[in-house]
Amino acid sequence: MATRSLKRRTFLRAGGMGFLFGSPLGFWCAGCSRPVSKNSLEMQFVQVPRGTFMMGASAEEDQLPSETRHRVTLTGPFFMGLHEVTQKQFGEVMGKNPSRRSSLFAPVDSVTWNEAVDFCERLSERPDEKESGYAYRLPTEAEWEFACRGYSDTPHSITSLASEDLIDYAWIKESSGGETHPVGEKLPNRFGIFDMHGNVSEWCLDWLGIYPTVAVTNPRGPRDGTKRVCRGGNYQSKPEDCRSATRVGFEPNFRHVTLGFRVVRMPRVDV
C-alpha cells in the first residue's frame, strides 16, 4: 500500500486536485501529454480527440440488456473537464451548495440534472466566459464513455476488475470510507481525466434509451424520454458497478448523495 500511496501523491496539489505542469506554452496535465486550458473559475479542461470506439459492454463483462455493444464515431475533438465540478465552483455560480457534507474541493453532490444544466447555462453567461468565447454543457453519453475509456476496451479504463487495482484510480465503496473526497486525489486515466470511475456518478446530456444495433456518428440519445443518463461509479459502488459501460437513468429532478457532474467546454455560438 505504501507504493500505491506514493504513486497517488505524484498527482496532488493544493486543494487536492491533480496538478498541471507549467510551461511557456501553457499547462500540461500530469497524467498525459495533452495541453490543458483553464477558465475563470480555475476549472481545467483537456482536449479529447476525435475517434471511433466500441461503446457498451465487452464480451468479458456480464452485459446488461441496456449495454449493447455498438460502434460509435465522434467526428470532432471536445474539451472535457479534468475534474468533477467541485462544491466551491458550484457555489460560486449557483449561490448554494446542496451537498450532504461541506467540503469545498470535493465534488458537489445531491445535484439534479436540471440543476446541472442550470449551472452550465449560468456559467456560460458569466462576463468572463462570454469574453473568452466559450460556453458549457453536460457531455453526451458517448463523449463521456469515450473520455472514460481513454482508448481502452476493458471493463474499466485500467486492465483489471480487481478492486486492489481500481482503488488507485477511484474512490469506491472499498476505499472511500463512505464519503466523497477532494477531486483529483487518485490517478488519472490515459487522457489525464480524474475520477471517472468513482467519487460521484455523473449526469450526461442524453435521455436514457435503448442503444442502436448499428454504427452511429455523434449520437445524442433519444429525442425524448423520462429519465436522463447518469454514468460512472461513485463512493458507494462496488468495482463491477464502476465499469466504463455502466449506465443508469433517473428523472431530471431526482436528487441523491451519489450524484454530481462534470462539464464540457465548447466554442460559443451566439444567434
DSSP string, 39-64: -TT--EEEEEPPEEEEES--TTS---
Q: Average pLDDT over the chain, rounded to whole?
A: 85
- Asked if 11 contacts 184 with a C-beta cutoff of 8 angstroms, the reply is yes
pTM for the model stands at 0.86
Question: Rounded mean pLDDT of 262-270?
Answer: 91
Residue 74 is given by DSSP the state E
Kindly state the cell numbers that stand for 265: 467546454
pLDDT tens-digit map of 59-100: 776 666 677 788 999 999 999 999 999 999 999 999 999 999
Question: Rounded mean pLDDT of 227-250?
Answer: 92
Q: State the pLDDT confidence band at 245, using cuts at 50, 70 and 90.
A: confident
Kindly state the cell numbers that stand for 79: 474539451
pLDDT tens-digit map of 148-170: 998 776 766 665 544 467 888 99
Which of the listed ranges 6-20, 42-56, 90-104, 185-199 does the model predict with the highest average pLDDT?
90-104
Q: Are strands 228-231 and 216-217 parallel, antiparallel or unpaired?
A: unpaired
What's the confidence (pLDDT) of residue 213? 87
Angle at 207 between CA 157 and CA 104, to 5 degrees: 60
- Asked if 49 contacts 39 with a C-beta cutoff of 8 angstroms, the reply is no
Ordered structural domains, the chain, with CATH: 2-12+26-267 (3.90.1580.10)
pLDDT tens-digit map of 120-141: 999 999 999 999 999 999 999 9
Q: Starting at the earlier edge strand, list the strands of the sheet with 51-55.
A: 51-55, 70-74, 216-217
- Would you call 21 exposed, middle or buried from its count of C-beta atoms within 10 A (0-12, 13-18, 19+)? exposed
